[in-house]
Amino acid sequence: MPRLAIEYLGLDDDPRLYIRVGDALELLDSAESADLIFVDLYTDVGPGVGHLAWGFLENCQKRLNPGGWLVINQWATDDGKPLGAALLRGSITAITGSCR
């Protein structure tokens, strides 16, 4: 994905940008604090159970700098409704106090 973003979407090679690719459940514990965490947590059959868990979302929040953003790639069902959106929104709001 990062290569495609650089090649086709104009993502610049910026020293402030650090991209880690892998399973977020494994990488998050050793990740540095960040202004932005982008999580693409879906497999070919839907979201991983561990990625919807309270602990995973709390760990994301712990790694975010004050004012930082957690961006989650969202799947949609055939009717266009985001899969798991209500669960994620409720969990994130409970952990951080807000969700946009």
Parse the chain into domains and list their residue ranges. 2-96
Say what the pLDDT of residue 65 is.
92
Distance CA 87, CA 56 (A): 13
Say what the pLDDT of residue 39 is.
83
Predicted confidence (pLDDT) at residue 90 exceeds the cutoff of 70: no
Sequence-separated (6 or more) residues with CB below 8 Å from residue 56: 24, 25, 28, 50
Tokens 């910026």 belong to which residue?
Answer: 14
Name the residue among 2, 24, 23 with its Cα closest to residue 11.
2
pTM, to two decimals? 0.70
Backbone angles phi, psi at 62, to 5 degrees: -65, -30
pLDDT in tens, 37-60: 888 777 677 667 777 777 888 888
